[in-house]
Structure 1
Amino acid sequence: MTFSEDKMAIEEILGSRSRLRILKLLYMLGELNLSGIARRIKVSYREVKKHIQILETAGLVTYKRFGRIKLYRLNESSSRVKAIEALIDAWEES
C-alpha cells in the first residue's frame, strides 16, 4: 500500500494510538530521534520507524539530519499539523 499526502485519509493517520502519541509527543517536546520517541511512548524502534514513515509521507513530520541521526519534528508549514495542534490544545484544556 502506498501513501500520498493527497490520498491519505484522516482515519489512516489518526486511527493509530501510536501515531497519535507520536504527534502529541513531537508537539510537546519539539524534536526527537526515533529512539527517544520509542522510549517515551514505550513502543519498539521498528514500530516507531513505521509510524514515522507514514506521518512523513502524509506531510505531518519532517526531520533534520546530524550525521547519522535524524531529529523528527512536526511540519509547521502544514495546515494539517496546525489543525492537529489545535485539537491537542483543545483536548488538553478540557
Structure 2
Amino acid sequence: MTGEHPSDGVDDVLAALADPTRRRLLDLLAEQGEVTATTLAAGLPVSRQAVVKHLAVLDAAGLVSGRRVGREVRYEVRSTALNATARRLAALAADWDRRLAIVKRVAEAAERDPDGG
C-alpha cells in the first residue's frame, strides 16, 4: 500500500467505532437483529434520544440502516462499510509487515558485517 487512498468511508467508520457506546450498539444489533432505538436503549445506560443520535452517526458511516415500519424505525447492521474497513486495515498491516521485514534484514546484515564491507 503506497500513496494516499481516495476517501472510501474508512475514516467515517473508524470515527464512528471510536465511541464505546456505538460499538455496544453494533454488538446489540448483531445479537438482536432488526430492532428499534427503544429496544436498544433498554440495554444501555443512555437515553433513547442518545441512542438515536449514536445510530445517526453509525448510519452516516454506513454501519447501520433504518427502515420505517409503521410509527417505528427498525435498525439493522450493514456489513459492507465494516468489511471495507477491515480489508483496508489488513492491507495496511501487510504493508507494515513488509516494511518491518526489510528493516530486520538490514539490521541483521549490519550485525553480521559491522564494518559494512
Asked whether the two chains share a fold, i.e. TM above 0.5, the reply is yes
Change (3 A) 1:81 1:23: farther
- Alpha-carbon offset, residue 8 of structure 1: 1.6
Task: Give runs of ≥4 in structure 1 deviating > 2 Å.
Answer: 4-7
Partner of 2:101: none
- Alpha-carbon offset, residue 81 of structure 1: 5.3
Partner of 1:45: 48
Other structure's SS at 1:70 match: strand
Percent identity of paired positions between Structure 1 and Structure 2: 32
Change (3 A) 1:5 1:47: farther
TM-score norm. by structure 1 comes to 0.72
Partner of 1:20: 23
Is the aligned partner of 1:8 residue 2:12?
Answer: yes
Other structure's SS at 1:41 match: coil
Partner of 1:80: 82
Partner of 1:63: 66
**1:63-85 Cα shifts (integer Å, max 9, x gaps):** 22111111100014x141585xx
TM-score norm. by structure 2 comes to 0.59
Is the aligned partner of 1:54 residue 2:57?
Answer: yes
Over the aligned positions, Cα root-mean-square deviation in angstroms equals 2.2
Number of residue pairs matched by the alignment: 78
Normalized per residue, the structure richer in helix is: 2
Match of 2:33 among 19, 30, 34: 30
Stretches of structure 1 lacking an aligned partner (at least 5 in a row)? 84-94
Stretches of structure 2 lacking an aligned partner (at least 5 in a row)? 1-6, 87-117
The structure that has the greater radius of gyration is 2
Partner of 2:115: none
